[in-house]
Structure 1
Amino acid sequence: MNATVDPDSPIGREARAWALAVSGEPFPPERSADLRHWLDADPAHARAYEEAEAVLLALSELPSLARPAPQSHRKPLARPSAWIGGVTALAACLVTAVFIALPPAVLETGAQSRQVALKDGSTAILAPGSRLAPASRWNDRRYVLERGEAFFSVRKADGRRFQVEVGETQVEVLGTRFDARTSASGQVRVAVEEGRVAVYQGTARREVARLGAGDYVLVENGRAQGGRLPAPTEAAAWRAGRLAYADAPLGDVVADLVARGHAGLRVTPRAAALRITASFQLDQADRFIASLPEILPVSIRASGAQRTIDVRPGTASAP
């Protein structure tokens, strides 16, 4: 187990300063980049920062814990110094027991989508097979999309930016409606239904796109490619039961279908690398799968309830 970082060490003091800075607003993008560089410089930095966040969260509860009960008599407390000392001791215990603070709840979905209300008043609709986690115990407008896809309706909050990390990609908005997806192959897609979105890449936060309503961007292997949707409402067509892909690996399509109940579907690594552009209703997925040999150089083998998609014999190599 990693040892707790001494809060009075240089790293501990710097972590505490960062945690206090993040807890306040505003926290501009350049400061966010500086923090990311500091966290990535040493595993001890990230550990110290997590511990500092936990302490600040726990200490935020002190006012209610320390407030004395209302007195029915005007007689002063007999030993005020003892009460103050008890609060000080409680604070000290919180500092040394930083791991007691519970981590933020992670939001996950199975085969069904799920709508959730976020703490800041925004909402998120998670696609099947998705996982969304708060990025911080302290900031209720920072999230990490660890798996799958989510559509966000972001509430404006006095200039506070709403941030979503998707792999090495960061999405940042003030108030808008947008969809973010991370696929099995690592491709990231961001599409906007309403408002404006800034998309950054990597720890240096290199801006790769500014999107308006109806715009989308695909980020893959550090490269970004933008485009236009047929209509802004197509940003999250999966909400209406339709899956849409633009130059996506076939493996990503299969992974999405498996997450949505097609458990017996498999794809070989060679076939998974084939690229496809397609759009189909989810209730027509079986027809789409059956048509794949007409679209791509693949064959489908059936064995009981399992279907395996493979590159057709004689195909030299997957593109």
Structure 2
Amino acid sequence: MGMNFTLQESSTLYGLLAESTSDVILKTDREGAIVHASPAFERFGFRPPEARLPARLLDLVEPSHRQEVAKAHSEALEGNETGAWVEFRAITSDERQHWFEIRTRGLRDEEGNVYGALSVMRSIDERRHLKDQLFAATYTDPLTRLTNRAAFISMLDHMIEKEMSGCLALFSIDFFRTINMKYGQSTGDEVLVVFADLLREMLRSEDIISRIGSERFAVLLPRTTPEQAQAICHRVVTTLAELRHKVGESRFAITASASIAHIADSLDSTIERAELALFCAKAKGRNRLEMEKARPASTH
């Protein structure tokens, strides 16, 4: 059996729900100005609309997400009743970043004219945190905390798609299998961490470092010429060889072979050229850097 409420009863019911829920209930006019906010509004660190700050729904939303929230509000006023939730980063009175989702419906008077909207806003901080953790687990190498092969492929593909200039460098720790067999896997793991830390220390902030295999690392060097990349990566190879690292109970030299290829043509082509140059570095005695072979000029 359905329940019918008078206007007064509906208003009272709304008040009870607004007082008891952790969701924020907002009433806005057609222009998006906040006319009323439930008590949870202030509990989440928003200023009450009576203070005139913020006075509009979009004032709660970080600029990068305002277009999506504005579109949802506009569609609600036009009678679109899909009720889809829209996620956004919020501007609150504290320094922390907070995520919310919002769903909006239009409000109509007795003649059917839309005079405003009612929105339900709820915190999704916990869900976003779990999503970020999952993203990190999917794209991060747990040992070195560098991005992994999946992330590297995605980023290189993006650079090629956007026709961004730059170079790809590959590094391979020399005789890594021998190190593992002679000193044990835990020592091998320490070698990987030592090399990852050296790359972080010696490369520039804009360079993107990934661990893409057992003993292999890739570095994307955006907006870098082959000559600049050669200078940067040669310094890494020579510095590594000059240091005797204490790893586990032993102190020994760690060396690496490296290669550089210009990012161009396609993802497969770029990786293939870098791999071939790395093979040459190893064939020529390791502990060295090789550039990709110059491609012949195209003829017409």
TM-score relative to the length of structure 1? 0.24
With structure 2 as the length reference, what TM-score do the two structures score? 0.26
Q: Radius of gyration: which is bigger?
A: 2
Which gives a bigger RCO, structure 1 or 2 (Cα 8 Å, sep 6+)? Answer: 2
Q: Name the structure where strand makes up a greater proportion of residues.
A: 1
